[in-house]
Chain A
Amino acid sequence: MEDRETIIGLEIHCQLNTKSKMFCGCSTDFRDNEPNTHTCPVCLGLPGSMPMVNKRAIEFALKVGKALNCTIREESEFSRKNYFYPDLNKAYQITQYDKPLAEWGKLLIDGDNGEKEVKITRIHLEEDPGRSVHMGTTDRGKYTLVDYNRAGIPLIEIVTEPDLRSPKEARKFLNKLRATLEYLNVFDSEKEGSLRVDANISIKGSERVEVKNISSYKGVEKALTFEVTRQRNLLRRGQPIARETRHFVETRGITTSSRSKEEENDYRYFPEPDLLPLRVSSWVESIELPELPDARRERFIRQYGVSAEHAKTLTGGLKLAEFYESVAPADPALAATWTADYLLGELNYRDFTIDAMPEDLFRELIKLIKSNAITDKSAVEILRIILDEVKEGKGPEHPQAIVDRLGLAKSSEDLVMKMVEEVVAEQPAAVADYYAGKMQALNFLVGQVMKKCRGRADPGHLNTLLKELLDKKV
């Protein structure tokens, strides 16, 4: 039983970051505003109002369709999905049903067993409903408040084939998808509620369970991991898996069965009579895509000479990639190592995004490391001090200021020792001569270090240091 495959397919809803809503001119920038302040007759669903398609939303969706290698439909169509709910302004959602904008695409991801192609079933456009705020508990609330600021925000729903084989693979797919959407500049992953996922999950040969309402990246892996364990435990005990819809309870990290009336809806889809069919074929050709994650990764390897692993990490998010490119000139290799191996860990630890690290300070830090002015250990310390200062809301200090304040500068002795080590590494023939007993070789090596430090060391001291080092090596 353990070797039966886990089968996962995802339905991902992403808010497109257009300036105005899907079917009216209201602003989408509502998150810091009072409820029901970004509304008009259209997004309130007032009687007589009619939808007017936001061309930019269609352009954004077409970009996604192209980037995910989809076939764009010659003629797609909006439909009404009818159901009653207080936050659904018209009692129907304008969405796409049997004629979606894009179909049959694929996305390459870094799967559990190497590179993998995940097939995209379809991408369609729709409007977000409003938001219900239940006062009291969900089933026995005192009352519910409704905010229509969100009503009409453009969404795309991306549906995958059941190609994913583990919760981790699902997360990797989402990461790659998010990066792609960010590169296209159609999506802002940092906005609250900008991404919602429904997942279909089954153990091969058993019934499929739909987990709804997952609203964070981390939540997806958690919910799926819980569900895999739950389903495998049931099978192990010889119990059947019910075909059902479950809800993810983020705070508890579990899924619960949710057989409520509303979910047994017959949505009675039919074509939206107030909108014309969408014909985009000539438009599609004129849409040019920016550089996408895979292409950027290849370029990083080529242009900056970074390792494949670093390139993958550094191109995993648009802002991260841009951050790297802005600090790389200081020293591409050091910048890659210090961004991917040190900075990201420190950011993660603090739940920070890359925005927290001021580029100029990081560039300065790389320069200090490059010039041998500080040790790696000191560099890590400086990084932490800067991020802690950011966390505390203080203006972070310059690395050089921290070096001066804490006396982190390498002593001259450190520097001399480093040159001695370098010369020993660079002159294997002279070293061999020394071991063979030729004392002139030692003088030659002293001369080389003197040359390196431009005569600023004491030859007698160098003589001692070199002898100590070479004798230790034997």
Chain B
Amino acid sequence: MAKILSFTPDDSVHAFLTTIPEVTYGEGPLSGVTVAVKDNISTKGIETTCASKILKGYIPPYDAHVVALLKDAGAAIVGKTNMDEFGMGTTTENSAFGPTLNPLDKNRVPGGSSGGSAAAVASGLCDVAIGSDTGGSIRCPAAFCGIVGLKPTYGRVSRYGLIAYANSLEQIGPMARDVKTLSRLYSVIAGHDPRDATTVNKPYSHEPSANIEGLKIGIVEEFFGEGVNPRVAEVVKEALATLESLGAVVKSYTMPSMKYALSAYYVTCTSEASSNLARFDGVRYGPGLDSAKSWHDAYSEQRKEGFGKEVRRRIILGTFSLAAGYYGRYYQKAQTARQMVRDDFERIFRDVDVIAGPTMPDIAFRLGEKSDPLQMYLADILTVPANLAGVPAISVPCGKIDSMPVGLQIIGKYFDDEKIIDTAFAFEQEGV
């Protein structure tokens, strides 16, 4: 039997792009749980823009697989959250509709690209949220806003209906204020979907356990190296000491492929994006084309006007990487580097159960602080390895610096999302 709740949030941080004033929901494991959905996930009948002008007015005629699952589980989908345009950013400042603010300090960014989802959860506007993580887009805002965010193993959650930015890297994942709630949300959205050929049949039905006696944790030196705020490193090391006190065993490793990870990531994601975003031409949806112009000119104008600066930059970079004569030097080489990252993870995971370190090299930036794109890209260095390899990773709050939260990142083996959830749960139970 359908029930209705009214949703009129005081959204002072601009977490939402669209809110649903009267939400219908049903029975099920998430009955009445308020869920915010990132605006790059298709929702039938609800505008879905990816925070881009080019999709302004686009109302999908179908639900993404995860949205259908949430509805079936009785969840109340209360709105669509702000993000960096098409997921391209680390701060949610790259939204065509204005930035989202960090609920803990409105002069700071919430992180990105799922900044709206994180801010909505952190400020208590809703119970949980769905984000997507291409190079850290769930974990980064979770860390900056002080909540929990999981990037599942690649293939564990259907991407059907997620407006693709970089298909081979991204996953939809849950965001919540605590691990148990996150785990509940995850059990609803995980599983095989025939419409996404890259999914595998590994549903999630785990109850988090705080017993980590004997857990082997790998520490990767590069995660505490250059570019990482020493104060962040210190907070994370204390968290690791807490885990040790709970019976975990910590061992140190190096990960030489880390020096190629960021380049491999940006070449791969921009290449895929240049192809994925080519369809936004105004012929089928979005603002209409100027039909008085030749199609060539109309396309150019549409895409120049419709895409923001960062999106245009990444499309151009990706187009270049795939161009004849450059493919071997860029795209193909990036795939080789990607394999090296996988190999490094595999080597370390032969010894340990999980790898732990900081989620982000620093605390939430001030608005406008990272104006140089390269500086911004460098902030992703600790989150992209998990996307390159496809392994699961979670960010759980582990302390504060200047009253801003720091995230502990726990990375797991393929399809061992359960283990990193347990580790995060154990840490969370100890309290910060």
Contacts and interface: CB of A to CB of B under 8 A. Distances in A.
Interface stretch (B155-163, B252-260, B374-382, B397-405): B155-163
Interface string B244-265: 0000000000000000000000
Nearest to A81: B275
Given A47-B48, A48-B162, A82-B322, A146 B41 contact: no
Closest 6 interchain pairs by CB?
A: A91-B278, A268-B322, A273-B167, A273-B168, A47-B163, A48-B161
22 contacts: A41-B61, A46-B60, A46-B61, A48-B64, A48-B161, A49-B62, A49-B160, A49-B161, A50-B197, A52-B194, A52-B197, A82-B274, A82-B278, A86-B281, A90-B278, A91-B278, A146-B283, A268-B275, A268-B324, A273-B167, A274-B159, A275-B197
B284 interface: yes
B6 interface: no
Contacts of A143: 291
B43 to A, nearest CB: 10
Contact of B295 (A50, A53, A144, A276): A144
Contact of B159 (A44, A50, A52, A84): A50
Contact of A90 (B163, B279, B319): B279
B197 A47 contact: no
A91 B280 CA distance: 8
A91 B323 CA distance: 16
B323 to A, nearest CB: 6
B331 to A, nearest CB: 6
Given A50-B195, A269-B327, A270-B275, 17 more contacts: A41-B61, A46-B60, A47-B60, A47-B285, A48-B42, A48-B64, A52-B195, A84-B299, A86-B283, A90-B279, A91-B275, A91-B281, A92-B275, A144-B295, A146-B283, A270-B272, A274-B164
Question: A44, A92, A266, A273: which has the most chain B beta carbons within 10 Å?
Answer: A273
Contacts of B50: 47
A144 B62 CA distance: 27
B299 to A, nearest CB: 6
A345 B165 CA distance: 59
Given A41-B61, A82-B278, A143-B291, A270 B331 contact: yes
Contacts of B324: 266, 268
Contact of B275 (A48, A82, A261): A82
Contact of A47 (B271, B279, B322, B327): B279
Interface in A141-158: 143-144, 146
B281 A46 contact: no
Interface of A: 41, 44-53, 80, 82, 84, 86, 89-92, 143-144, 146, 261, 266, 268-270, 273-276
B327 A270 contact: yes
A269 to B, nearest CB: 8
Contact of B42 (A47, A52, A84, A86): A47
Contacts of A44: 284
Contacts of A91: 275, 278-279, 281
A268 B167 CA distance: 17
A145 to B, nearest CB: 11
B20 interface: no
A50 B160 contact: yes
Contact of B319 (A89, A268, A269): A268
B27 interface: no
A269 B332 CA distance: 11
B350 interface: no
- Interface residue range, chain B: 35 or more
A92 B160 CA distance: 18
Contact of B58 (A47, A49, A269): A47
A84 B62 contact: no
Interface string B157-201: 001111110111000000000000000000000000011111000
A49 B162 CA distance: 8
Central interface residue in A47, A52, A261, by most chain B CB within 10 Å: A47
B262 to A, nearest CB: 19
Interface of chain B, helix or strand or loop or mixed?
A: loop
B273 to A, nearest CB: 11
Interface string B267-293: 000011011001111011100000100
Nearest to A84: B299
Interface string B299-335: 1000000000000000000010011100100010000
A229 to B, nearest CB: 34
Nearest to A146: B283
Contacts of B62: 41, 46, 49
B367 interface: no
A337 to B, nearest CB: 55
Nearest to A91: B278
A41 B331 CA distance: 29
B278 A276 contact: no
B205 to A, nearest CB: 25
A89 B281 CA distance: 10
Contacts of B195: 50, 52
Contacts of A268: 274-275, 319, 322-324, 327
Interface in B117-136: none
A274 B160 CA distance: 10
A146 B296 CA distance: 15
Contacts of B319: 268
A46 B284 contact: yes
Contact of A48 (B163, B283, B299, B331): B163
B352 interface: no
Contact of B164 (A48, A82, A146, A266): A48
A84 B281 CA distance: 9
Contacts of B295: 86, 144
Contacts of B284: 44-46, 89
Interface in B17-50: 41-42, 48, 50
B274 to A, nearest CB: 8
B333 to A, nearest CB: 13
B210 interface: no
Contacts of B64: 48
B198 A276 contact: yes
Interface in B95-136: none
Nearest to B325: A266
Contact of B271 (A50, A266, A270, A274): A270
Given A47-B42, A47-B58, A89 B279 contact: yes
Contacts of B164: 47-48, 274
A261 B296 contact: yes
Contacts of A86: 281, 283, 295
B55 interface: yes
Nearest to A274: B167
Nearest to A36: B284
A89 B271 CA distance: 19
Contacts of B283: 86, 146
Contacts of B296: 84, 261
A430 to B, nearest CB: 83
Contacts of A51: 197
A274 B162 contact: no
Contacts of A261: 296
A452 B291 CA distance: 85
Contacts of B160: 48-50
A320 B166 CA distance: 51
Nearest to A92: B275
Most B Cβ at <10 Å: residue of A44, A91, A268, A269: A268
